[in-house]
Amino acid sequence: MNHPDLTTTVLNGLHTAHRREVLISGHQRLTGAHVLALVAGAAQTLTADGIRPGDTIACQYGPQPESLLTCLTAAVLGCPLLYLWPSITDTLAHQTTQALNITTTLTPPQQTALHTHPATEPPTPAHRHPDDITAITFTSGTTGQRKPITYTARAQAAHLAVMRAVHGHTPARLLAPTHLEYTRVLHQLWAWAGGGTVLIPTDHDDLADTARRERATHLIAGRPATLYPLAEQLATAPPAHLTTITYGGAAPTPTRTAQAVTTLGTRLVQTYGTNEAGCLTALTRHDHRTPRLLASAGRAVPGVELHIRDQDGTAVHPGDVGEVWARSPQSTHGYLGDPHRTARLTHNGWIRTGDLGRLDPDGYLFLLDRVEDRLADGIYSHPIEHLLSGDPTVLEAAVFGDGSRHAGAIVAKPGADVNLENLRDLIAHTLGPHHRPERLWLVDRLPRTPGGKPDKAALRARRPITDP
């Protein structure tokens, strides 16, 4: 299916908004007409500086509103944009810009200076073929070093189509924390495409307070670890105008999600996906009313197909556990400069996600582990982690294996007295004796991958399950 071009759709949304505010950050408040004029002026400046359609521009992408304006300016020019997030190391940034032969890297001050001279005519987007590369970003680093990946215009149009299927078309007032990187940008462009408003918090803004003050309708919470304390903040006076709070990016804890549902009502939406395949599933607001589904990642979004396969790539029996394979129009064009890794990623249009899970008869996906983190046969980390994190004394937990044995690291809630032996007994009683961890440790915090997930390789290295 061909979807409308992302750039054209966003420009049309801003034109529809016209005199309504579409970008708010601190004291800065811009209308749709103002954003269009600034983007048109910036495009004229870059063109005068010799930038031509197809030239890749690097953007040191930060929390400032001008980074989002730079994203749209590059799209209008028909220039692929390399997103250099604050979390990207100087070495990786240098290697990537060298590989792309980039001569223009816009720093935050340059982005601000670029968007200070509004044009009198609206911007006219350059023509782009659906298979042209439009964006270069980076994987989250779940499996190690972050890798640059590319998206085409066709994939970005599919991203927008999925967000419209999940969140709708009507104008939204979208608030997202600035650490979310590429998923934040896609949601912001979705808001503009619908003629809505993007709310960008400053360093001094509290997310819950900003949602109330600016009457946010949609809030992107990010990972469950961010959602749960945010739900507690909002519990004192849940804003009536806030209709949707989206979370994802890591395995949620069903008991804590249930508490958030009790506090916030039917506002929660969970999404699951990968950098390589895009958004794959959604657990809707209605789904959150069913307790058993709080352990699920939801059902496939429109345009996405899911298969569960064994290690040889053969489909497993319905309901059995295997690796999640996905076919999606949102998929990456590939890893930049690494055709061999790209070839291993895709198989006749299907992408291996690296996640282990199962599909129930209604099509709901239940994720159980990562392939590289799998424990002994028939034992998976997520159910054990759900049980541990659901204990009232535990803030979060990570379970990891080493051969036939597995163990866990526990972060206690502030002031809580955690009984590790009772927790081991709870696991054995609830899930079966073979699920009992060999050991549990109390730690101050869990090590994290660059993408923010528990780093189980680091835990294995720091906490050997058996004594040497």
Report domain extents, the chain.
6-366, 375-462
Task: From the options 3.40.50.12280, 1.20.1300.10, 3.40.50.12780, 3.40.50.2000, give the CATH code of 6-366.
Answer: 3.40.50.12780
Q: Does domain 375-462 have CATH number 3.40.1130.10?
A: no
pTM for the predicted model, two decimal places = 0.93
Q: Categorize the per-residue pLDDT at 3 as very low, low, confident or very high, splitting at 50, 70 and 90.
A: confident
Of 194, 185, 166, the C-alpha closest to 303 is 166
Of 179, 230, 187, the C-alpha closest to 450 is 179
Least confident of 369-383, 401-415, 451-465: 451-465
Residues 458, 449: Cα–Cα separation, whole Å: 9
Looking only at the bridges linking them, the beta strands covering 104-106 and 57-60 are parallel
In the chain, the N- to C-terminal Cα span, in Å, equals 57
SS3 348: coil
pLDDT in tens, 423-463: 999 999 999 999 999 999 999 999 988 777 888 888 988 87
Residues 156, 134: Cα–Cα separation, whole Å: 8
The set of residues, in sequence order, having a beta carbon less than 8 Å from that of 63 and lying 6+ positions away, is 178, 200, 201, 202, 203
pLDDT in tens, 239-281: 999 999 999 998 899 999 999 999 999 999 999 999 999 999 9
Q: How many CB atoms lie within 10 A of CB 321?
A: 18
pLDDT in tens, 177-234: 988 999 999 999 999 999 999 999 988 789 999 999 999 999 999 999 899 999 999 9
Task: Assess whether the region 6-366 and the region 375-462 belong to the same CATH fold.
Answer: no
Q: Which residue has the higher pLDDT, 45 or 237?
A: 45
Residues 344, 350: Cα–Cα separation, whole Å: 11
